[in-house]
Chains A and B, each alone.
Chain A
């Protein structure tokens, strides 16, 4: 079970990376407008 000493911190690092990516996306404005991009899908050009 002592593999937990390696796996758990590793998991936490992955979580930290995911959270970092999320915060980056938020700051870049990815979540500012959730309605329009869905409508842009009708553009077929």
Chain B
């Protein structure tokens, strides 16, 4: 329970009314044991205890804080750990807890809190500390400027859709009067009246909501490229002008109802597409907000905390163990090991010493270092990567566009057919000519077609995201639906990506001395030992000497201890015989005390438990599975054998360039899906038809990947291919349905067998069918295979 909400008098403490009610209900029914169960699972609220003093800095003010006319200040903060209704309740209680806070409002979906406060009464750092105590660590939100643009875009789009919908409905009502009177029950005077009414009502739709299509078409013509807006704009303009001429001349069909509905349907499709593209950009944005917001800068021997945006090249920052490096730079003093997985995907720690380059976003794991800043803020490598992620997300052309283009062509064809029908029927039966042309226009309204793809894709992407699969665009789904070749990276994809003690044979007392000599090392082997025996306390070792790539030796409690590869240890100790390795993929480590080998360990990167079932599932669905790794060939071969893959498809010793070449070579014979993490896969993933980056994967891979699996292991990959297959089936079904429907409808109307009234009833039925089919389809809800 957050400290700020503790009621001294109460026997039990609650974070919110919801918990209190829940507790009352649970208690009443004698189910108190629930709490003893849940306590073991739930992570306790752990405030960082940071002072947040940088939030009061003037540079912070200039960057994030807005001063309102009333004298209040406003800031947007990204909060960690927001998930449910009680979070809303808690965060929005802050004004009650802290005097001077005028307003705190939380957007749950984006974890963004808007806080307004009176700077005279309270400081922002106090508010930040309060939020931290409640369990929501605040970070300044850096996308504020972009966020404002996005909000404006969203609102404009919503306004357009609303207007288009209102107009479409009203024009259809007027059209209903025209069609039902079409049999001759309407007087010429009233017919003219309703035609004029629809003309007047549809005009604002052409001027406001449809302007996006005209603007888009003009822009694309100016750069001499045909975008999907051109046929749409052409169709809309032709229909409108022809309708206007016919209205004024008082003869021939008017197309206004079809136009109004088309504008509405196309706008809805575009809105769904826009939201899909943002999902990817959002995740990048959040990561950016999570890179450190403050830096401890060293000035004249004293250390001050300032916002990392205020750093300038040449400044020296102090980075403690556990801190994230705030800017790109070079190490000035101190030595440590960094976790660079954000950039490289390698979970292995990287040792740094004075003179080495370090990058913003990497985490200092060992000792304190001082860094001379070379590229702060927006110029840093991580900021550069984030920009590329956004750009590629915006550039990708989803299959949505092809459906829109189809709809545009469709409009043109329908207009031609309608005119043709009218001319032909003019010769056969002039009195019915207008009726049949109108029936054709109504019944062939392409909104079902325009909605079919974007709806199915956005429903699928939304459902996939709920299952921890982030898909950037519809084109990736399209490619993943057909089985082809999938190349898997080994380290971190098929395997756990870190060294683990697989086998240990030796007395327990040896564990202590091994940990003692390895304590100072950042080598993966040292990490493996430390993880394997977390409860073992190590004594202090003296005279520790490392031999790179071979082993380590030192004195522990007077005994001479050697730990390392067999070759290294056996030159320094006697052995009664070493067991042979159980697998090529493992590394043997010997431990000698006072010149005698006493223990033996095997260390390796173990397979993820779900790797083999996932590979089997993919293969049974017709995928060819291969391994492409930078690791040594024998290790890759061993992994391939464990998964039952043919030896030809398991390639080891591959440099990033080799991986790229291999992907390019395979692309000549068909689509390639590259699955990996880390910077050394980035080029191969970009070249592949679809790049999939797996959990733990780096931002570098997200930049080039089309799909990001936020859950560990390969099981989501199987789900992804199945979901893609189902999505494509839904799209095909939708398109086939709307085309068949339109062909039959158009045929009947041209043959003069469809009264306009029946057409008006059938038209929305086709759209509703498509909408219903898309929502109902269980594209990604089938669960793991």
Contacts and interface: CB of A to CB of B under 8 A. Distances in A.
B88 interface: yes
Contacts of A35: 107-109
B158 A42 contact: no
B288 interface: no
A45 to B, nearest CB: 8
Q: How large is the interface on A (under 10, 10 to 19, 20 to 34, 35 or more residues)?
A: 20 to 34
B189 to A, nearest CB: 9
Contacts of A39: 84-85, 88-89, 108
Interface string B44-56: 0000000000000
Interface in B178-219: 190, 193, 197, 200-201
Contact of B159 (A22, A42, A43): A22
A26 B159 contact: yes
Nearest to A40: B88
Interface of B: 17-18, 84-86, 88-89, 92, 105-109, 151, 154-155, 158-159, 162-163, 166, 170, 190, 193, 197, 200-201
Contacts of A19: 162-163, 166
Contacts of B201: 12
B87 to A, nearest CB: 8
B166 A15 contact: yes
A42 B197 contact: no
B181 to A, nearest CB: 11
Interface string A22-45: 110011010111011001101111
B151 A29 contact: yes
A40 B604 CA distance: 51
Majority-rule SS of B interface residues: helix
A12 B170 contact: yes
**Sorted from nearest, which 10 A-B pairs have the closest CB atoms?**
A39-B85, A39-B88, A26-B159, A22-B162, A35-B109, A33-B107, A36-B108, A23-B159, A19-B166, A26-B158
A32 B157 CA distance: 12
B454 to A, nearest CB: 20
A36 B162 contact: no
A22 B84 CA distance: 29
A30 to B, nearest CB: 10
A8 interface: yes
A4 interface: yes
Given A12-B197, A26-B162, A39-B84, 16 more contacts: A4-B190, A5-B193, A12-B170, A12-B200, A19-B162, A22-B162, A22-B163, A23-B163, A26-B159, A31-B155, A32-B154, A32-B155, A35-B108, A36-B107, A39-B88, A39-B108
Contacts of A22: 159, 162-163, 166
A1 B177 CA distance: 13
Interface of A: 1, 4-5, 8, 11-12, 15, 18-19, 22-23, 26-27, 29, 31-33, 35-36, 39-40, 42-45
B541 to A, nearest CB: 55
Majority-rule SS of A interface residues: helix
Given A12-B201, A43-B89, A33 B109 contact: yes
B66 to A, nearest CB: 16
B106 A44 contact: no
Nearest to A11: B170
Nearest to A42: B85
15 contacts: A1-B190, A4-B190, A19-B162, A26-B159, A27-B155, A31-B158, A32-B154, A33-B107, A33-B108, A35-B107, A36-B88, A40-B88, A40-B89, A42-B89, A44-B17
- Residue from A4, A15, A26 with most neighbouring chain B CB atoms (10 Å): A26
A8 B92 contact: no
A29 B190 contact: no
Contacts of A18: 166
Nearest to B163: A19
Nearest to B173: A11
A39 B108 CA distance: 9
A41 B716 CA distance: 36
A23 B167 CA distance: 14
A39 B197 CA distance: 44
A12 B107 CA distance: 37
A24 B665 CA distance: 57
A5 B194 CA distance: 10
Contacts of B158: 26, 31
B17 A42 contact: yes
Contacts of B86: 42
Contact of B193 (A4, A31, A43): A4
Contacts of A33: 107-109
Contacts of B106: 36
